[in-house]
Structure 1
């Protein structure tokens, strides 16, 4: 004859925690589209429908995090046409020695970097408050504030964006520790600049 066992408080607590965790998980389930769908899983990796595969792990995502690709779509740069990518790389090659020289002289303030890049013939980008482009291609600004210890700090240095085409940019930076220059596609929310991490 079957007997029922009383539910122990520890078991009830574990069950409640599991339920709360499942209900408060980040993100909603959405059907993937060809633009935001998950990258194909590497060969040998479990697919979501494979026996034993966790439904909470996204194939091809860093650490298998659920919704990684969807949550980080804003950090994916757009595609460049091959010709425009070639143009962007050519402009990056013009900018790199200027930033290297400034870095070696330990000069990385926005005013000095802007003046040095304008001497290459670039024109500062002008945009209205509502985002309408008025001309120019170069944006030079200070570094973005970062969280450190108990508050935000803005490190010394400069960020650079050069819009080469509607789909191609050069993004660069120069700061005390290093400098970098690269050709990249546009980001959906921030144009030529790589967006900060966030959720």
Structure 2
């Protein structure tokens, strides 16, 4: 069977386009035949892993390229040493209360708020005295683990964030988030 020259050229162009499109968007980092060929010393050469050199930010999470650029809203601001110390002191006061509530299997928002207000924190809006010492307690999303999330503004730049839920509790200290204050952002914009 003989294929005419125009049909031959068209078939070659079609195959070339199809082959190049099937690899479109794929990043090949695994071993290839050239990678697995023995070197002069007889050992296998390593296969490349991770992002290409030059694309990694020095402080990027797990070496991911553009991590800080894409996830800046999730990165808390720095705390001053004085604010961090004050936040750690507040966390030390809050932790035993949440531990007691967790052991009593009590994690509804009203009870958590009531118990934390007994420590002397204010349950006021975020504009009161620039939000210092302001306590926020909110219920977990429906469909998630039942419990309450807690945020306490400490100074202008520090927070105590915590939760108590059916499975566990946690208290930690962090800087404020750019868009959400003390609570860690849930998703992107």
TM-score normalised by structure 1 residue count: 0.67
Deviation at 1:195, TM superposition (A): 1.0
Which residue, out of 112, 128, 134, partners 2:128?
A: 134
**Superposed, which structure 2 residues align to 1:1-199 within 5 Å?**
7=12, 9-18=14-23, 21=25, 54=52, 57-60=55-58, 61-127=60-126, 133-135=127-129, 137-144=134-141, 153-198=143-188
Matched residue SS, 2:113: helix
Distance 1:77 1:157 in 2: 24
CA contact (8 A) 1:103 1:179 kept: yes
The aligned length equals: 154
Deviation at 1:80, TM superposition (A): 0.6
Matched residue SS, 1:100: helix
Could you report, residue by residue, the CA deviation over 1:63-85 in whole angstroms, capped at 9, with x for unpaired residues? 54332221111111011111110
Distance 1:113 1:169 in 2: 17
Distance 2:77 2:52 in 1: 30
Could you report, residue by residue, the CA deviation over 1:148-180 in whole angstroms, capped at 9, with x for unpaired residues? xxxxx2431000000011101100000011100
Aligned to 2:39: none
CA contact (8 A) 1:56 1:65 kept: no
Runs of 4+ residues over 4 Å off in structure 1: none
Unpaired runs of at least 5, structure 1: 23-45, 47-52, 128-132, 146-152
- More helix, by proportion: 2
State which structure, 1 or 2, has the greater radius of gyration over its C-alpha atoms.
2
Unpaired runs of at least 5, structure 2: 1-8, 27-47
CA contact (8 A) 2:57 2:67 kept: no
1:12–1:170 distance in 2 versus 1, CA, 3 Å: same
